[in-house]
Amino acid sequence: MPSSPVITASEAIRHALEIGLEEHPDAYLIGEGVTDPSGIFGTTKGLLQRFGPSRVMDMPVSENGLTGIVIGSALMGQRPIMTHQRVDFALLCLEQLFNTAAKCHYVTNGHHRVPLTVRMVIGRGWGQGPQHSQSLEAMFAYFPGLKVVMPTTPDRFKGMLLSSIDDDNPIIFLEHRWLHYVTGSVPTEGTRVPLDGPRVAREGSDVTIVASSYMVLEALRAADALARVGRECEVIDLQIIRPLVIAPVAKSLAKTGRLLTCDTGWRTLGIGSEIVSRLCESAWGAFRCAPVRIGLPDHPTPSSLPLAQAFYPDSTSIVAAIGNMTELSPAKIAEATSIAAAARQGVPIDKPDPAFKGPL
């Protein structure tokens, strides 16, 4: 009888890496710190001991060079899994990711394959500031040829990481640091979750909320609070940013007539911008009110606690937006806002919310 114990997402990631390395003799793990005692937030712990230094490799601090090197090995039949402890460091690799990895298959008319998974961690909190907390999925998703995966729940982290390792394309696998702590039931075996698009995280009839990664948790909290004042939100966890599968969102919009998007990155030119554009083009008649996008404001992430507080939208921002979209009375908006705010139990904005620990 297969079991599904409750574990954290970081444990789920470690299990996926272990199974991926076990099942694919051509797979290897490489990254700054993958052999460290702390093991990339626990996600690579013990893998060196299990698979040895030729399969689990630390690397020089040379992000761009090593990206080209793992691509070259992938073209020769290896299956590299690369890890960056912050998205911000991966910016050094963009030439290789955008010019080489994303285009090799197309340019060679399908001859070359780049079975490469690049894990990147989105930092947040504890004053990480302008260059340790960026959420840049929109930039990666701009490039045809890359797949961009952003799971939310532990079972998805495991199943989608395994699918990414299996996949013959270059994959940007984005892990929000605060989701590493989240728990959930995860099958012990190597069950794959296909990289095929969004999932409905909560059903509802009044508003469609499209969120990804950490913002799914804030959206679910907002949906709980709004349900208490008579508004039912459908929460769609986007999961795969590219190739973007819009049909499930369109289907939900047809039901609710209202669309709110929540980015973990900047609002301007964010994923929400693309979703709103596509649905305005293809489903204009479905909108009962103007769509709304939530995302980060147009400035870098500040380090200081009160400034960070002003920077990050949360469940109360979602409640306020949906209150307006659904013409809730000010009293009910205030009620739902206080329910959502209370759920955080006064935890400061620079720390992960223990109430989000799950299990999901």
Judged by the rule CB under 8 A, the positions of this chain that interact with another protein are 26, 28, 54, 59-60, 62, 64-78, 95-96, 99-100, 104-115, 144-145, 147, 168-169, 243
CB of 246 to another protein, least distance (A): 17
The catalytic residue among 11, 63, 218, 234 is 63
Sign of CA dihedral 152, 157, 160, 161: positive
Q: At its nearest, how many Å lie between another protein and the CB of residue 212?
A: 20
Dihedral sign for Cα atoms in the order 216, 218, 219, 220 = positive
Does the annotation mark 22 as catalytic? no
**Closest CB to another protein among 129 and 243?**
243
How many CA atoms lie within 13 Å of 203's alpha carbon, on the beta-carbon side?
2
Nearer to another protein, 47 or 215 (CB): 47
Burial class (CB in 10 A: 0-12, 13-18, 19+), 308: buried
Instruction: Give the shortest CB-125-to-another protein separation in angstroms.
Output: 31
Q: Among residues 95 and 189, whose Cβ is nearest to another protein? A: 95
Of 62, 47, 39, nearest to 17 by C-alpha is 47
Residue type, 258: R
Q: Find the shortest distance in angstroms from Cβ 76 to another protein.
A: 3
* Residues 135 and 264: beta-carbon distance below 8 Å: yes
Closest to another protein by CB, 116 vs 336, is 116
Cβ–Cβ < 8 Å for 210, 247: no
- Marked catalytic residue, from 15, 84, 132, 180: 132
Q: Is 63 a catalytic residue?
A: yes
Distance CA 173, CA 119 (A): 5
Instruction: List active site positions.
Output: 63, 132
